[in-house]
Chain A
Amino acid sequence: MVKGRPFLEILASSLHGDYKFPILELLVFLFLLSSFVFASLGFGSLEAPEEYFVYHITGSLMGMPLFIFAMLLFRNIASGIGNDLEKGTMQTILAYPLKRRSILTAKLISAFGVATLVFLGTQFSALWILAPDMVGPHLQVVLLTYVEYLSLPLLVASLTLLLTLLLKKGTLGVVFGLMMFFLFGILSSLVSLVAYATNSVLPLQLYSVVAPQVATDFYYGSLLPMGHVFWAPSFSEVLLYTGAGYGITALILFLSYLYFSRRLDT
């Protein structure tokens, strides 16, 4: 067998399973349509640097599509990996002349990689169509916004993957993913409440480790010419929180790889 062929075989089969016609086409339709429909660009004043507006416009386009994207990730993990483990199909896949970590990589490229590519592709296209004169000069702000907003869904998706591998059940994994995603949403409001009630930024700082978007929100909020700012993290702090968030995601993925390669018993 040609070197690399088994990897492509598994990748092709995962892609076929995860994105049966017309799932991918419907996703593109939903991502694009909801980006335009749910975008909220109304600003009462221009008393802020343009980066502030670019950050908020990019974020506003991601509202509903990000939710659909997170659902897609959980579903892909559940059906692509969880169901294979549950139904015993994984035994056949593991019989391929390929290292286990390569098998998981092929599965994750399909589950995470393609979904992220489609999500970012549609988001960027929508943004470019809507406000080309804002995207062009502030590309780094747009990219940073994507990195920040994707951090939490990818973290929850990694946790879902680890749990799916441990439980060997797809359905449970997807339920766990959904619950975690909503829990983080609730936690976000609670953390703000506690922070304001105690007049301490510590809860916000702690939460920013898993959801760096919070720190970025405050960073761009601090650019507004207002009197009192509750928390004004510096840009390097924002990058630090982002690094920490992705570091945790990488650690969970590493543990998943480790478990899949050495411990998983099909």
Chain B
Amino acid sequence: MNQRWTILLGRIGAVLVAAGLTLVMVSFIPPVKDQGYSYFERGVVVQPQTFSVSNSYFLSTPVDPQHGLHIGVYTDRTVSIYLLDVGRDHVEEWVEERLPDSQQLSSLNASIMEEFLTSHQSNVAWQGNTTNGNAEFEYVPTKITNTTLVFSNVDLQDASIDYDIQLLRFIVSSERASNPAKFAIPLGITLAVPRLSSMIRRRKSTVPAR
């Protein structure tokens, strides 16, 4: 290969490695739990086969790619949890359109919420179940968005739910930073190999024999 091309590819490779290492470094910076921005609620009762939309005013503040949420849910039953990337008012409006007589979202019929979730699948940012009565997860949005937390009691008895929400401050989400680095570093090294080998060969040839 032409020496100039080897040098050019080598530099592009070195740049990719530098970018990849920067991303790896950034991905190691842990998020900070903002103690000033936290919310908890105890003893939320969800009747069997019903849904409940969290009443947290805290969630009406938009989150963004540098401000995520750490959510912990603790209950004695098996509960399905949905975090939606739309505001509570959006859910309320949607329900009101279908059930003009409904009074509140606190204990919705399962079928109406299932219908909502089916028609808003792209808005389900996270979903999971409590295992051994607990569930903890982190959510880092990819845009600026409001959020809504929905609990579904799939059990046949009342579920009493405690939950807490904490704001997380990120420089960048660890996963999102490390993913491109996984491609950039190997590609960069591959591009830089011909340049490195030619440098080593040249150095060997210029070292005088003893």
Name A's B-contacting residues (CB within 8 A): 8, 12, 19, 21-22, 24-26, 28-29, 32-33, 36-37, 39, 41-46, 50, 53, 57, 118, 122, 125, 129-134
Contacts and interface: CB of A to CB of B under 8 A. Distances in A.
Nearest to A47: B62
B172 A129 contact: yes
Interface string B71-101: 0000000000000000100000000000000
B19 A41 contact: no
Contacts of B176: 129-130
Contacts of A28: 15, 18-19, 22
B177 interface: yes
B121 interface: no
B62 A43 contact: yes
Contacts of B143: 50, 131, 133-134
Contacts of A32: 19, 22-23, 26
Interface of B: 4, 11, 14-15, 17-19, 21-23, 25-26, 61-62, 64-67, 87, 141-146, 171-172, 176-177, 180
B67 A129 contact: no
Contact of B142 (A22, A46, A134): A134
A36 B169 CA distance: 12
Given A129-B180, A130-B176, A46 B144 contact: yes
A122 B14 contact: no
Contacts of A25: 14-15, 17-18
Contacts, number: 84
A12 B7 CA distance: 10
Contacts of A43: 62, 64, 144
Contacts of A130: 65-66, 172, 176
Contacts of B171: 36-37
Nearest to A126: B172
B15 A41 contact: no
Contacts of B17: 25
B14 A22 contact: yes
Contact of A46 (B11, B14, B62, B66): B62
B19 A125 contact: yes
A67 to B, nearest CB: 18
Contacts of B142: 131-134
B144 A21 contact: no
A6 to B, nearest CB: 14
B182 to A, nearest CB: 13
A125 B180 CA distance: 9
